[in-house]
Structure 1
Amino acid sequence: MQTFMPAMKRCNLWGLGNQTRATVAVLALLAFGWGFDYASGAQKFETSIDNNQPIRNPGGHAATFSTQGFVVLTGEYFQAQGTNGRSCASCHIPPDAWSINPGTLQRLFDETEGTHPVFNPVDANNPTTADFSTVEGRRAAYSMLLTHGVFRRGGALKAEPREWDLIAVVDPHGFANLTRLVHWRRAMPTINFAVGSATVNWDGGNTMGTPPDQRAGLINQARRNVNGVQMGPLLAIDDPIITDIVDFESSLSTAQLIVPGVGRLDSDGVRGGPEALAFMPKFEGRFDLYDAWAGHKNPRRAQIARGQELFNNTNRGGRRCGACHSSANNGTNFNNLLFDIGTASAAAATPDLTLHTFRNRATGQIRQLTDAGRGNVTGLWNDLGKFKTPTVRALAARAPYFHNGIAATLEDVVRHYETHLGFIFTDEERADLVAFLNAL
């Protein structure tokens, strides 16, 4: 098996393990597969990753490029700031494009019998079914995290004024009620901020300023993360810990680098991969990464170029991916807008999601949603079910997709848009679009 270990540096601290820095558990960045080996704090592990270091995923290999010169894995982002052993990196890890996926979570659970810090009742369990006394009890308690990679969010209804009332709740876990929302959300990847939206979090709940100030929002998010899910102090805006966290995540660009049968995505005239992304200007426009592969003699390269054009152009159904994913070559929304794409609709709901019934106070209109989205931040009826448009880079490394993990594959993502938003694709076009998304 090929190994990339010589490209990495060694140390003995990592904030993903137990509750103190001296006894943290170990993330062993193993050959090619990036397997996990959580054992005693006496073991050694890596402290940095070289820029453009390939990391395997189901669609090939992704990589990260840091403007700091290499990806340092020992800063405050990786240290537990609170009392429960969690760090930012407990839920945002390099192999999963700085998110965390069900396969990783299942591995962590098996290797620690469900005691890794990511498994914490502050936001990871199904509350009323929680039994932490046995391994199988913990497995059942954390089933949403293990199967969908989603964390519990929500909480109290937005304070007045509001344009809507919550009039009914169906929660398979028995926790939500008419005063308490339960939303299940994936960990957003902490990458590509330099060309990304200034909207922070799925519902924009940590966004700061008008117009939004991205750094202020990231500072707000980091402070609330330390104080909330890490159960630590509320640090000052200019605290060196917060500054270090935000500087680190702001330095990261992550993207797919290699696709089998295609080769490197930053060669032969194209501009895929993370390094090119790190130095691209932020502007509103089309994806042009793979223009040079249009009509390429390698059919898989030509397919990626065709998929790029499908993404850029108006579909036969009158829809266009780039209408929302408008930040060129990154795919967040250039104007920081949030959208309702039906991912929280009753029609798209899976049986293990909470279904909330909302009523418009002025019109009496009814909506059923598994997540209030932006609407529980602003209180506005038209914001219900709206979410941030995330980066579409490094998608292959971070399934499942959408805010609630309802799409298991990239093909499922495309089919969701066909079913719920009126896109129309032939089988060949769908395959082309999936090939493009996999190459991002």
Structure 2
Amino acid sequence: MSLSVSTIQQRWRDTKGTDPLFAAIDGSNCPSLPQGKPESHSLLLEKGLIRIAMPWPPRPFNGKPIDPEFSIEVVRDPTGCNLDPEWGIDSPSSAISVFRRPRPVINIAHLMELPHGVPPFNNFFFNDAMPLPKGPDTGLTVPQQLMADGRGLTPKFQATDAALTHLQLFDALSDDDLEEIEAFERQIYGAQSFDNLAGDLTSPESPPGLGPQALVISPKARLGNNPLNKIFGEFSMWASTADESQEVQQDKVKAFKASVARGSEIFREVRFYISDVGMYNDKGLGNPFKRSCGSGCHNTLSMGMDLSPGFMDLGLNNFPWQNRRNDLPLFKITCRDDVLPQSFLGREIYTHDPGRALITGKCTDVGATMTQQLRGLAARAPYFAGGAAANLRELVDFYDRRFNIGYTEQEKADLVNFMRTL
């Protein structure tokens, strides 16, 4: 229930580019380009990116335009869509085109659950002490884990938005349609169930947290950053006391499983200094703040997303952390003098995707996105919202470089092997 580049490229070959996946409205670099040519769909074919047209000025879920705290200038526009007279920022419809990976449609039941023991749920807060929003259809507090920028508050709202924008339906989906879509989504649980080296990940000899069934029975919205509730369960049955012995080296399966067990330990326990992360280090935690992957941003039991919840800017879209990319549009954000600046990037920011700021219009939100679940990773490369990491090793390398962690080659391999079993 996700989308990989290998799948996209196979669909292009099988249908000669006629599959609905390659629709001009979102499956091409811009609807005004000549369709049916690979170069017009390069971001989808090479990075798995869907075009998202965000209204400018921003309109949050209630549809009312807001006065943004910043101006936005198109510095570079390789797809041509942001400066297009029909589809761009100066067009009659005035939109900003950003390009993002679709998030997987699995484990929605976990994504939509708020922590237990916080009655009433209306009192639950973001990690910056702001109250969570309320769903427009129920009036109940919602966790905002569905989409990277938080614009889809509920499965029904997300389906309505997708139907009108991506599918280009003339009429909104009916209430019955929305009920059926949400019921369908809430019953889907997904995780890696087989590995080419480890074999069946759902066998009795496998760690109990692996496989889709583990997500069906796992408690929802619980912290997994403690010894009693380890995020993805216990991997000790795969550990080996002779990691470097000749015997283990000859047994590739045993060596791989031992590597996975070490990777799970690194993920949970190895702490490093997290610094200059907008909407994280500026919330009273300290800068830098020492945490591990599992005790910080990926702490939800069985899922590995952020339970707080909280948007944050890891530098995936913004300079100087993200390597300059010539395939994506580049925007210059200039924040007004009378508003709070982006905590670590100031008032003048260069970004490939303003992220959450295209919803809220706030300078402090530039580049911020919501962390996502870590299940089924092996099947849905490339990674990050902009597809910047082609594989899991590049994902690990980004964090190692971003936070000066200093992982060894063995530790990087262990982390990759661990994540590919999730």
TM-score by length of 1: 0.70
How far 1:319 moved relative to its partner?
4.2
Secondary structure, aligned partner of 2:98: strand
Question: Is 239-248 or 311-320 further displaced after alignment?
Answer: 311-320
| Aligned partner of residue 357 in structure 1, secondary structure | strand
In the TM superposition, residue 128 of structure 1 has moved relative to its aligned partner by 7.2
Q: How many angstroms does 1:288 deviate by?
A: 4.0
Match of 1:239 among 175, 189, 193: 175
Tell me which residue corresponds to 1:343: 316
Cα displacement string for residues 269-289 of structure 1 (whole angstroms, at most 9, x for unaligned residues): 611101111110020123242
In the TM superposition, residue 234 of structure 1 has moved relative to its aligned partner by 4.2
Provide Cα deviations, 1:82-105, integer angstroms capped at 9, x if missing partner.
xxxxxxxxxxxxxxxx11122212
Alpha-carbon offset, residue 186 of structure 1: 0.9
> 1:19-67 CA distances to partner (integer Å, 9 max, x unpaired)?
xxxxxxxxxxxxxxxxxxxxxxxxxxxxxxxxxxxxxxxxxxxxxxxxx
Partner SS state of residue 367, structure 1: strand
Query: What is the match of residue 73 of structure 1?
Result: none
Instruction: Out of 189-198 and 239-248, give the one that drifted further.
Output: 189-198
Work out the CA distance in 2 between the residues paired with 1:315 and 1:147: 34
Within-5 A mapping of 1:23-172: 98-127=1-30, 130-132=33-35, 135=36, 138-157=37-56, 158=58, 159-172=65-78
Asked whether the equivalents of residues 315 and 424 of structure 1 are also in contact (C-alpha less than 8 Å), the reply is no
Greater mean deviation of Cα atoms: 295-304 or 118-127? 295-304
Structure 1 portions without partners, runs of 5+: 1-97, 208-216
Alignment of 1:279-428 (within 5 A): 279-282=217-220, 283-286=222-225, 287-293=231-237, 295-296=239-240, 298-317=254-273, 318-322=290-294, 323-346=296-319, 347-362=322-337, 365-428=347-410
Is residue 186 of structure 1 aligned with residue 114 of structure 2?
no
Confirm or deny: 8 A CA contact 1:196 1:327 kept in the other structure.
Answer: no
User: What residue is the counterpart of 2:412 in the other structure?
Assistant: 430
**Structure 2 regions of 5+ residues with no counterpart?**
59-64, 84-88, 113-142, 226-230, 242-253, 274-289
Q: Tell me, what secondary structure is at the counterpart of 2:191?
A: strand
Aligned partner of residue 52 in structure 2, secondary structure: strand
Task: Specify the SS of the correspondent of 2:22.
Answer: coil
How far 1:299 sits from its partner (Å)?
Answer: 2.4
Higher strand share: 1
Q: Distance in 2 between matches of 1:403 and 1:360?
A: 24
- Native 8 Å contact 2:232 2:303 kept in 1: no
Matched letter for residue 167 of structure 1: E
Question: CA separation in 1, counterparts of 2:109 and 2:55?
Answer: 33
Letter of the 1:321 counterpart: C
After TM superposition, the runs of 4+ consecutive aligned structure 1 residues lying more than 6 A away are none
Calculate the aligned-residue CA RMSD, in Å.
2.0
Query: CA–CA distance in 2 between the matches of 1:432 and 1:262?
Result: 14
For the residues of structure 2 that align with 1:339 and 1:195, how far apart are their CA atoms? 20
Q: 1:247 to 1:128 in 2, by over 3 A?
A: closer
- Equivalent pairs: percent with the same residue? 29
Number of paired residues? 329
More RCO (CA 8 Å, sep 6+)? 2
Give the direction of change, closer, same or farther, for the CA distance of 1:165–1:262 in structure 2 (3 Å limit). same
